[in-house]
A and B are shown apart, each in its own frame.
Chain A
Amino acid sequence: MTDDKIRALGLMSGGLDSTLAANLMQNLGIEVLGLHFSTGFCVADRHRLLGNANNRDRPYRNDALHAGAQLEVPVEIIDIKDRYLPEVVLHPKHGYGSGMNPCIDCRIFMLQRAKEIMEKRDYDFVFTGEVLGQRPMSQRRPPMQAIEIEAGLEGLLLRPLSAQVLPPTLPEKRGWVDRDRLYGIVGRGRHEQMQLADEFGLVDYPQPAGGCCFLPDENYARKLRDLLTHNGPEVDPDDMMLLKVGRHFRLGDDVKIIVGRHEAENDFLERFREGRGSVWLEAFGSPLTLIEGPPSAADLEFACRITARYSSGRKEPEVPVLWQLNGEQGKLLVRPLREDRQLEEIRI
């Protein structure tokens, strides 16, 4: 350190709350390093990898990096994908929320990593944009206290947006930050945060959109459970990536198909075609379907019928469907699948 400036690490998702917290710390003269954890389950990453359908020349941005640029706060992306699934998602000590979301364990895991960085690089404390009462699982008073203790950050974890309704932390007690200049925001509303954003001159921040993680989403959780059941806990990163797009149908224990829902998903699936079977129609507007695992002849035909159902030829009595598998190509004339029940039975 070249001077006696107090240094803090902030967990930054790039959402309004964490951006406000970082801005507030800056205003109090704290030197801030933002940490953005990449778990592999970020909803924003999905939007970004599918691209901006409305304007392909303006790709979606990483909100944490954008917030860092706006505040001129350095943001470091911490890649925790490899450890996150086995250590947090599969075995959460504090259980799941509505889907497969281990919010409390997730928070503890991230803060433990932050603590390691704090100690290694000589930072003074850690702060987050958490607001008391905002989220049902991890942002209530008891879990917030438990998180602080289990992360090993007792007294060193400041939540500046709700600090005035929480016990004073060491940074406040030692006068590193002025408690009177912190806030006492409580609850799920965003009104106070938006007022604060106005006050700070923050004009370009993501609108609150119901969370940034796939794991609370029951549809996603179902696909993840299915993958873990059939592939075991050692899942391939590409398989994880593919959970984020398309309609998924399980044709057998070791065979499933992924059907693109629109052009952007087809483009995305195209990048994963190598090493997988694929099915598509040339004569009609068509999804691209990927086949995971070794399909039987009946599976392949069924995959062709499902693909035809989602093509513009779905009302035709029969349509030609192309397939590619293990270096071979072929064409099947099939009746588009029309039986909803049959489809729902295999939908993941």
Chain B
Amino acid sequence: MVSRRSAGSLRDYVHGVLDKAGLAEVAQQCDVVIDARGTFCPEPIIRTQNAAAQMAPGAVAMILADDAGIEVDLPAWCISTRNEYLGVLREDGFLRAFIRRSPAPPNG
């Protein structure tokens, strides 16, 4: 039987691997900016997925969004596609979320 994440760890995954200071640092040097403000889920994820397909392994993307759904969908997408979810910064009226491209995405 294939093992899977427990409900507990699924609840935990909304927290990224970097803290606020780490994210602020990454924001200064991210490789790709994906502006999905004004769109609703799943559009921010679609844009992220399409951009990620062009990104080099290890590259970092910053996703700008004002749909709160990205806070649960982006971490889930990262787990399922084995990209790394770095976390999210809440700004005034929008969110800045960060991912790092997996070195070896599955089933590309």
Contacts and interface: CB of A to CB of B under 8 A. Distances in A.
B68 A51 contact: yes
A201 B81 CA distance: 21
B76 A61 contact: yes
B49 A69 contact: no
A228 interface: no
Given A72-B5, A74-B80, A74-B81, A66 B69 contact: no
A31 interface: yes
B49 A49 contact: no
Contacts of A58: 72
Interface stretch (A75-83, A94-102, A217-225): A75-83
A45 B42 CA distance: 8
B95 to A, nearest CB: 11
B77 A75 contact: yes
B29 to A, nearest CB: 27
Given A23-B2, A69-B75, A76-B49, A62 B41 contact: yes
User: Interface residue tally of chain B, by bracket?
Assistant: 20 to 34
A169 interface: no
Given A68-B76, A74-B80, A203-B7, A27 B107 contact: no
Contact of B105 (A48, A74, A204): A74
A319 B73 CA distance: 44
A69 B13 contact: yes
B45 interface: yes
A264 B44 CA distance: 20
Interface string B1-21: 110110100100100000000
A332 interface: no
Interface in A3-34: 7, 23, 26-27, 31-34
A28 to B, nearest CB: 10
A49 B43 CA distance: 11
User: Interface residue tally of chain A, by bracket?
Assistant: 35 or more
B66 to A, nearest CB: 9
B81 A59 contact: no
Contacts of B106: 31, 33, 74
B94 interface: no
A7 B107 contact: yes
Nearest to A65: B76
A70 B72 contact: no
A72 B80 contact: yes
B76 A62 contact: yes
A62 B42 contact: yes
Nearest to A76: B49
A206 B67 CA distance: 21
Contacts of A69: 5, 10, 13, 75-77, 79-80
Given A61-B69, A62-B45, A65-B73, A71 B4 contact: yes
A200 interface: yes
A117 B43 CA distance: 20
Interface string A194-209: 0000001111100000
Given A61-B69, A69-B80, 19 more contacts: A26-B2, A27-B1, A31-B107, A33-B107, A36-B42, A38-B42, A45-B41, A45-B42, A59-B68, A61-B72, A62-B42, A62-B76, A65-B45, A66-B72, A68-B79, A69-B77, A72-B5, A72-B80, A79-B46
Interface of B: 1-2, 4-5, 7, 10, 13, 38, 40-43, 45-46, 49, 67-69, 71-73, 75-77, 79-82, 105-107
Interface of A: 7, 23, 26-27, 31-34, 36, 38, 45, 48-49, 51, 56, 58-62, 65-66, 68-77, 79, 200-204, 241, 271
